[in-house]
Amino acid sequence: MKPKITWINHASYIIENDQVCLLVDPWIDGTAFNDGWLHISKSYFPDDLLDRVTHIWFSHEHPDHFSPKNLKEISLKCHNLPKIVFQKTTDKRVLNFVKKLGFECIEIEPFKEHLIEENFAITIMTFPPIDSSLILDINGYKIVNTNDCILESKHLKKLGSYINNSCDLLLTQFSYASWIGTPDDSSLRKLAIEEKICEIKSQIEFFKPSYTIPFASFIWYCHAENFYMNDEMVGLEIIEQKISNSGSKAAIMYPGDSWTLFEKRHFTNQENINKYKSDIVQNVKIENTITPQLIPIDELEKNANIYFQRIKEKNGKYLLMLICLISKIFDSFPLKYKLGFGETSFRIEDHNATYKFDWINGLKKSRIDNPHVVLSADSLNFILKLEFGMGSLGVNGRAIYKDLLSLYHFRRVFSLGLVNSVGDTFLSHAIKKITNQVGDSIHDVEPSYLKK
């Protein structure tokens, strides 16, 4: 029996065979990354489809793949709760969250095949700190979902060894998925698209899949503050052609499509490309964007004080003061490398007010003419209230930075929420970094997107 795939949206789909119906990365509706992303098209996820689901797999904790809101809705609507399949982790934060909702969990050891049922095997390839790819072996058909993973040659070789260099279907991301440049930096976004196309080409040349489904990029930047990021939205005709030129057959899936894999499809790529084009014309408009919620300045200052107290309690008041002071002295010299923990400045655009923040004084008003960052009170408030807030801002692009050094300072000063969200402190992360237990710098830590 050949597996059947039903398309839901973005990175989410169902693949079923015999008694197994696996739901992948369900983000069904709503925004992601603090009102930064929306689906281009309406998702397809009727109740009768949900009732067939036996298992749910999450690739990682980003909200466009792991939506707590949608998972809670599934837990309330499902008559028989599906089993959650997730990579084995040390902190168990995702599994603990889903267990509280009543789900039974299957932890899969990375790089080890797990049999869901006869002729339906799962292998998870982890890519630290949080991402993973999925390999399915269904009745001998090999399906590879590379997800958001950036695959270098060493990763491709390892993946290839688990499928014996035989791949029937590849699913891969086809557009950029984070903040890239200011409104005037369209050339940087164009370059990012070119790099993504090169990644697709290298994956196809390595895996040699019979079919390739481009996915995990069916979003638009839906806020008034990041709408400019849509200027280099790549056309699916280009992606289809690049896939074809690389030696694979493109399968453009639209929400609601079902396909018994490798048999004749009841839809054509061009029909679906036209549907997406129509949705873009209908939905991706400046008048459809979300405008920032106006946060009163006194509320912002109150939340800043709460944030300041929290990071001091979690990371050590005197340690932060010492690091901040050393950084201010070090960064005053004209050296190429900057510690970046001294101070950052920003203008809150909707209040036309400028502030500075550091680990000694907290939030203070400032008269700086040319601050590091311009952002809304809503974006700043999101950082102050939620430990993963800085992570969301790094993806949604809802801020304008004076230059890359300004971005560096801003992210470094507000990095503590990121490390605290995953159970670390400034000191514990520094020790892990020195001893090569983690590779990311403190401002690049992937946070937990679960609200505490």
- Count helices and strands (H / E) in the chain: 14, 21
33 to 36, 279, 281, 386, 409: CA distances (angstroms): 5, 21, 23, 12, 21
pLDDT at 278 (0 to 100): 98
pLDDT at 152 (0 to 100): 78
Angle between helices 153-162 and 186-207 (to 10 degrees): 40
pLDDT digits (tens, 9 = 90+) for 254-306: 999 999 998 888 889 999 999 999 999 999 999 999 999 999 999 999 999 99
What mean pLDDT comes out for the span 322-333?
94
Which band of pLDDT confidence, cut at 50, 70 and 90, is reported for residue 148?
A: confident
Q: Are strands 141-147 and 169-173 parallel, antiparallel or unpaired?
A: parallel
pLDDT digits (tens, 9 = 90+) for 347-406: 999 999 999 999 999 999 999 999 999 999 999 999 999 999 999 999 999 999 999 999
Angle between helices 377-385 and 389-396 (to 10 degrees): 140
Q: For residue 412, give the nearest of 307, 323, 309 by alpha carbon.
A: 323
pLDDT digits (tens, 9 = 90+) for 228-248: 999 999 999 999 999 999 999
164-166-171 Cα angle (round to 5): 120
pLDDT digits (tens, 9 = 90+) for 256-266: 999 999 888 88
Answer with the residue of higher pLDDT: 343 or 437.
343
What mean pLDDT comes out for the span 15-28?
96
Task: Name which CATH class applies to 4-288.
Answer: alpha beta
146 to 11, 33, 125, 335, 413: CA distances (angstroms): 11, 21, 9, 40, 33
What mean pLDDT comes out for the span 319-337?
92
The ranges of the chain annotated as CATH 3.60.15.10 are: 4-288
pLDDT over 70 for what percent of the chain? 100
Q: Does the pLDDT at position 56 exceed 80?
A: yes
Report which secondary-structure segment, H or E, holds 214: strand 211-215
Contact by Cβ (8 Å): 281, 239: no
CA torsion through residues 347, 185, 396, 37, sign: positive
Which band of pLDDT confidence, cut at 50, 70 and 90, is reported for residue 318?
A: very high
pLDDT at 262 (0 to 100): 86
First to last CA, the chain: 44
pLDDT at 452 (0 to 100): 67
HEC sequence for 149-183: CCCCHHHHHHHHHHCCCCCCEEEEECCCCCCCCCC
pLDDT at 334 (0 to 100): 85
pLDDT at 160 (0 to 100): 74
Which structure tokens are listed for 378?
């809503």
Q: For residue 372, give the nearest of 340, 395, 396 by alpha carbon.
A: 340
pLDDT at 76 (0 to 100): 95
Q: What is the pTM of this model?
A: 0.94
Please tell me the distance from the alpha carbon of residue 344 to that of residue 355, in angstroms, as a whole number. Answer: 9
Q: In this structure, which amino acid lies at residue 218?
A: F
Mean pLDDT of the chain: 94
pLDDT at 236 (0 to 100): 97
Q: Does the pLDDT at position 119 exceed 70?
A: yes
pLDDT at 157 (0 to 100): 76
Please tell me the distance from the alpha carbon of residue 107 to that of residue 87, in angstroms, as a whole number. Answer: 6
| Rg (the chain; Cα; Å) | 23
